[in-house]
Amino acid sequence: MQPGRTEEDKLIVGYLLGDLSPEGKEQIELRCITDDEFFERILVIEDELIDDYARVELPPVEHDLFERNFLTSPERRRKVEIAKGLVEWACRSRGLAAPGAPQAAPGGWWKSVWSYMTVDRVRYPRPPFALMAATMCIVLLGGSWLIRQHLRQRSRFDQAVTEVAALRQQAIDLQEQVGSQRARGDELSRKLRERESVMSSQQPEQELSAQPRRPSVETFSVAPLVRGAQGEPLVIHPGTQLIDLQVSPGSKDRYESFRAAIATPDGQMVWMQANIQPPSSSGLKAISLFVPADALGSGDFILTLSGRSPDGTDEVVTEYALRIVWEPARER
């Protein structure tokens, strides 16, 4: 009956189920009393409502209204009984199960639940609700505990995997650093040999033999300038030809290249190098600035490191205070 209901049918259903305004009721009743066809239509719809209720096919709201407002007289209850009997007779005659009639419990794990819900309550009363509720609580709590445990284990596993990957990456970085340091050492050795060969050709043999053997390259790691503070002096030994100043530009990724300049405190530039590549390519965090030792005498200097952005602009990255002290023996 419900599919294809017209608006008027819906009004009639509302009227029969007591779900219509007083004005709506009056309109239907007046039409019903003067229009025989309309009256017959209400009778048909009323009968079909009874059939649908008997078949358990009414929507929940109408089902409730039917029980509350329609099943108010023994006569109507009798009609419903007959309708149920008629449906069951028709279904039995056709070898079908009648709707609302006891059904065979379906198979599967929910068979027992189905049986519990559909069993004859008068003959087989339900077990106490508290027992059922307690069982359900145990099942739910146990299930949630297992799920929580599983998620915790999964989280630990993921964390371990992440840590292993990080360690592996660190090992790779270290290997790269070692390689680049070795390459840099080789390069320095080569430069030193060249310089030594030049010097040996210029200096008398006796003078060379009188000088103590000193490292030709002095390496220093310098820290950025802190206002009001003065770092340790960089002591240069006699015979040093190159000073390796290692600086660490913090935000190296922002710059395509760097520029280093050393000037006296009064602004006189004594050394400068441009187009210094960022250290990322070599895996190092510091930049090595090879400054000819003879460019720096004893005294204070300021090393300025500037970065060049991709858009071509230069900006000062950091400044370093340098105090150079030559050992007296070689003071020039």
Positions touching other proteins (CB under 8 A) are 3-4, 15-16, 18, 29-30, 32-34, 36, 39-44, 46-48, 51, 55, 57, 69, 72-76, 78-79, 81-94, 96, 99, 122
CB of 60 to other proteins, least distance (A): 16
Chain centre distance of CA 33: 71
Q: Label residues 295-308 b or e (16+ Cβ within 10 Å = b).
A: ebeeeebebbbbbb
Could you give the CA distance from residue 95 to residue 72 in angstroms, rounded to a whole number?
Answer: 33
CB of 58 to other proteins, least distance (A): 12
- Residue 162's H or E segment, with its range, is helix 129-202
CB of 119 to other proteins, least distance (A): 14
Residue number with CB closer to other proteins (88 or 244): 88
CB of 95 to other proteins, least distance (A): 9
- Token pair of 99, please? 């709707």
Residue number with CB closer to other proteins (68 or 150): 68
CB of 3 to other proteins, least distance (A): 6
Residue number with CB closer to other proteins (115 or 211): 115
Residue number with CB closer to other proteins (6 or 206): 6
Rg (CA), the chain: 49
The region, left, alpha or beta by phi > 0 then psi within -120 to 50, assigned to residue 108 is: left
Are the CB atoms for 66 and 23 separated by under 8 Å? no
Enumerate the β-bridge partners of residue 220: 245
CB of 10 to other proteins, least distance (A): 16
- Token pair of 144, please? 């949630």
Residue number with CB closer to other proteins (115 or 149): 115
Could you give the CA distance from residue 69 to residue 76 in angstroms, rounded to a whole number?
Answer: 11
For residue 17, the one-letter residue type is: L
Residue number with CB closer to other proteins (101 or 134): 101
Could you give the CA distance from residue 249 to residue 135 in angstroms, rounded to a whole number?
Answer: 66
